[in-house]
Structures are given as C-alpha cells and as structure tokens.
Structure 1
Amino acid sequence: MGEAERGESAPRQRVIFFCAHEHRFEVAFAAEAVVPESWDCPRCGLPASMDQENPPPPPKIEPYKTHLAYVKERRSDQEASDILDEALKSLRDRRKRGEIIF
C-alpha cells in the first residue's frame, strides 16, 4: 500500500531517549505533540530521558513484605496483644454459648 491509498502521513518529530543502561532509542511523536520528559526503555524497562549525560536513575525496588510485616508496621506489640486477648475472649464466649462446636 502506498501513500495514495492511505493518505499522507501526519508530520512527525523523532526524539532520542537514553536510559541508565546506556540504551539509545528513538520515539516518533506527532509534530504538535508535547514530548514527555521521560519514556520507558523498550529494552530494559528503565526510565529514560533526552539527556544522554544524565539519564534518570533506576527506580528503587522495595523488597516484598508479608501481610504480617505490614501489620507490625501499624501495630505495637501491646496493641497486638490486646487485640489477640479480645479475639480469644470472644471465641471462648461463643463456644460457651454453643455457637462454635470445635
């Protein structure tokens, strides 16, 4: 298919981005489009910028946290002990009333 069948291409601007792993890639934007300051590298996924000398640093990766780790961040040991005592009291009361059979 040629341009006669599809129509003429819109005017474009090509912008070169650089990532921290020294990858260089080109992205085409419409001529009137606002070019973003950063773009994800298609090879490694790191953020890239138009400044070859100072590419953006890789994002800091937080280690995986378990549910218990998040709970420990929110609750003190005393609060956890109080909540456990309350839950055990409630469970024992329900067993006495026959609501729980095990």
Structure 2
Amino acid sequence: MAGGNAIRGSRVGAGPMGEAERGEAAPRFFVSYWCANQHETRPSFAEEEGLQVPETWDCPRCGFPAGQDRDNPPAPPRNEPYKTHLAYVKERRSDADGEAILAEALEALRAKRIVR
C-alpha cells in the first residue's frame, strides 16, 4: 500500500533538466584507446581549438596504459618484486667483503670482552 507521497525521491526545485536550463552542450568527439589486454576505452573530448589529445589513457578495466594503435598497444608496466634488506646488501657487497666485515666486527667484540 502506497504511503501517499507522490514526490518521493525528489527534491525541492527538481524538474526536467534540459538544454534550456543547463545551456548548450559543447560539441564532443570520441577517441578509441586499446590496452595490452585488448580492452577498448572511448573517452570523449570537447572540440576546442588547439586541444591536445593524450597519447595514452589508463584502462578503466585493468589499469594498464592504453594507446590509440590497436595493433601495438603500450606494454604493461613491469612490476619489480619486493626486495629484502639483505638482497640490497648483497647487491652492494661481495661474499669476501661480508667475511671481512664480519671478522672485523668479531675482533672488536673480542677486544671489548678482554678489556672488561
């Protein structure tokens, strides 16, 4: 049974919004972009003098960059795996360097132990 509220879901001042109230819409054109997964994205752009259309556009479905050439879309970004602190240290130091640093640290600890 209806509650008798005929304007339910409306707000004061709401009415049909047409071209007369909003003004004229700017002429628009669509550009197709394709990502590496062959998703097509078609954003619209206003037809303005000197407008530069972007070369790439982010795909809203997968997030990969999309280009205007369907046969040669931009490559997806390469994600580097997470590296631990030890991995970074091993990139900078050789095993021989590590052995030398360890021997120096052990010698310093033994010297402290003898002094006390």
Indicate whether the TM-score tops 0.5: yes
TM superposition shift of 1:60:
2.5
Return closer, same or farther for 1:87/1:24 CA change in 2, 3 Å cut-off. Answer: same
Distance 1:95 1:3 in 2: 88
The aligned counterpart of 1:49 is 67
Alignment of 1:1-102 (within 5 A): 8-9=24-25, 12-30=28-46, 31=48, 32-94=50-112
User: CA RMSD, aligned part only?
Assistant: 2.8
TM superposition shift of 1:10:
5.2
Query: Which stretch shifts more, 4-13 or 42-51?
Result: 4-13
Return closer, same or farther for 1:85/1:6 CA change in 2, 3 Å cut-off. Answer: farther
Q: Which has the larger radius of gyration?
A: 2
Return closer, same or farther for 1:61/1:6 CA change in 2, 3 Å cut-off. Answer: same
Q: TM-score, normalised by structure 2?
A: 0.63
The amino acid of 1:54's aligned partner reads N
Q: TM-score, normalised by structure 1?
A: 0.69
Distance 1:81 1:9 in 2: 73
Greater share of strand:
1
Which residues of structure 2 form unaligned runs of 5+? 1-16
- Identity %, equivalent residues: 60
